[in-house]
Amino acid sequence: MKTIIEEHDENILVTMIGSLDTAAAIEAEQMLKPITEGEGKDIVFECKELEYIASSGLRILLDVLKKTKAKGKKVTLRNVNDDIQNVFKITGFINLFEFE
């Protein structure tokens, strides 16, 4: 999996490419840690090229959501494919996140 983080004035864009499986989750968690501990900006996850997400990936996104909301900011998932959106529906996470 490849994760690209770009900081903009209004938000932080996190582009996720590949599979967010258990092995990739450890690295992704370390990459995302600084943005959740920072000053607090809205976070947009670009998921157009995200092919798969495991439960460990969902846990990481939930952690990012909790820390971001605690700072009064929001997390948006953009361009989520149907398969991954179904995972969010089955787990009930569909109600926690904003989707574009």
Render pLDDT for 62-82 as a digit per residue (tens, 0 to 9): 999 999 999 999 999 999 999
Stretch 78-89: mean pLDDT, rounded? 96
Render pLDDT for 15-27 as a digit per residue (tens, 0 to 9): 999 999 999 999 9
Rounded Cα distance between 25 and 21, Å, is: 6
Give the pLDDT of residue 39.
Answer: 80
Rounded Cα distance between 68 and 53, Å, is: 20
> CA distances (Å), 95 to each of 9, 16, 17, 91, 99, in order?
27, 21, 23, 10, 10
Q: Quote the tokens at residue 31.
A: 């990459």
Render pLDDT for 28-67 as a digit per residue (tens, 0 to 9): 999 999 998 888 899 999 999 999 999 999 999 999 999 9
